[in-house]
Structure 1
Amino acid sequence: MLIGLVITIGFSFLPRIIDPWVNANLVKEELSIDMPLGRYLSNVWDEPNVIVALHGYSHTTPNGDDNAEFYSESEEIPTSYIEDHVERAMTVFNSLGIKEYLFEPPGFAWDERLVKILKEKGFTVLEGEVHGRIPTEVAYSVRPMRFILAIRKLNGFLGSKGEEILNVLSPKAQTVGETVEKSLMIKIVDAEYTWNWRYMTDFEVPRYEEALRNLKSDNPTRIILHYPDLNEFTKRFLEEAVKMPSVKIIRCDDIKSDSDLSKIDWLIDLGKRNNVFVELVVVPTVVPSIAPWARTLIHVSWYLFLWTVVLPTVTFVMWFFFGWYFIRRKKLKSLKKVEELERKPLVSIILPAYNE
């Protein structure tokens, strides 16, 4: 039983080995001018109130974690992977004719290697801290968080839009020749209020009113949202948010090739009507993936198979093997005793019968 349990537990770790390999070998389709989103971005990137940004290349780590790409506490990400993905992402935007853009690492996660590579690739990079309201699994509040501002330069210099973005997100930064002096950006606030609003069904949900209260108390500079959360509830919230004088940028993350362009049009129009920047943060690849519910179903089915089929089968096989082994061992011992008796000298005793 113990051996069967050990073998079954060993098999239960197979998905951890197989899943990363599958994710790493999925064919990634890059955004192109032939795709609706590609054509769209190539037309709007230089509009006065539009900022486009690369959201990494695949939005996944080598092991398939889609919460980050360039840094993870749970795995070591090779420098070659970081450099390759930065280059590939830039190549996609270059093919679309996009010349001035930002680079926003997925998951707000990076280390000094990404900073170094971005600088080598022609970005003005500024690091510091901001007050951030980013959702977590527990209640969150405005707190200092790491911040990176990476702007693609034009012919070695920041363009006019790049200068505007720098002034908004880092008002204390000073341009010195071709470089920008580092400064803390603690005066601005990055805040996300609408995380998982994709599941909202009613304006009466308490978190809508709570978001409005937090908005008014935070005075954010940049409001962050994720494209899947851009529904009627989020739109109503954004209409209120842009009325605040502090709000300068609406940033929409995780825009992909299958995103509804009419929603992006609505965002850009909102920015134009209220004189705020709209930052379109784009994942430039399409990675075939299994729906979350299907992946969960596969994992559950695998574990059920292990415990209802593999464990009993292995246990019975072990019982049979050990039973056969011990029975055979017992027979061999018996045969050995007989052989030993046959080798010893024998004495025959003949006794007369009773009536002989």
Structure 2
Amino acid sequence: MTASVPVFDGHNDVLLRLYKSQSHDPVSDFLTGEAAGHIDLPKAKAGAFVGGLFALYSPAAQASSGFMAQMTGGRYAVPLPEPLTMDEARNSVVAELAILLQLERASAGAVAICTTTAEIRSAIERKALAVVVHLEGAEAIDAELRFLDVLYAAGLRSIGPVWSRTNVFGHGVPFHFPSGPDLGDGLTAAGERLIGACNDLKILVDLSHITEKGFWDVARLSKAPLVATHSNAHALCPSPRNLTDKQLAAIRDTGGMVGLNFATCFLRPDGSMRPDTGIELMVQQIDYLLEKLGEDHVGLGSDFDGAVVPEAIDSAAGLQALFVALRDKGYSETLLGKLGAGNWLDLLQRTIG
């Protein structure tokens, strides 16, 4: 029997799901397992999901209903929620971080918050779930970056300066289809200061939601490898969230990384959020990313608990179905190991240390 391929994942939204849960004890639900959601501890163990970048994300005060349901039909422009105040953003970020801290404390060593690559490797070796704290959209951080130091002390090691909403640091790409990524301005002066501070602190900068202008602003300013934790190839799926060949070349040239996003709207040629999406589209994306980036610069960035994923995967428990499909395509075990976890660990060694 072929051994499971360990997976270190570039992006998930499980902390947001737990924060929004109606359960009286979401921490216990995560540790013991539940029907809802893509990731909990039993599902992680079943799918050899050994860790990843866990996002802190601030939802809109009044989320629009049917957000993902509007992403269908081959052409759409989904309205974005209104920008958040810093207090609104900070409240949810602190609450999600508190859930993570409670998870670690209640897990008896089964969940470990990691701030270095050595800590990630150690956690994986002892079969603990290795969690790296990521901030998706920096609305909770003030323009003077004081709260950045607070979050860094709490374990933050990765930041996407923007989600798709505009904030004080820059502009994100809206959910339009089909479209290129050149849909707004780039970094603000505060955003440029944020990139410099991230470089100084060795915080990974995630480019997955930023506009094309913002991408090139980061490329101009940053001394670190360019990274898109959960994005795909625009040539195969013309969503503005996906990366053009020119962007992929820039990521390659800096020794950076792209994590394959499982969200079906970033896989399908029609941009639809539909679970009846074939796993072959994931394989096609990986083939293309490997062609453009090389085998040392591609991994997985599932977007679990934040999107509709192909039903053949369904949750973290089904991750090995992707590796079965890649084996059937002729991928070697060495390459599968790089795609599963090896490339992310190498990238993190060169960014967060």
**TM-score, structure 1 length as denominator?**
0.35
Q: Which has the larger radius of gyration?
A: 1
Greater helix percent: which structure? 1
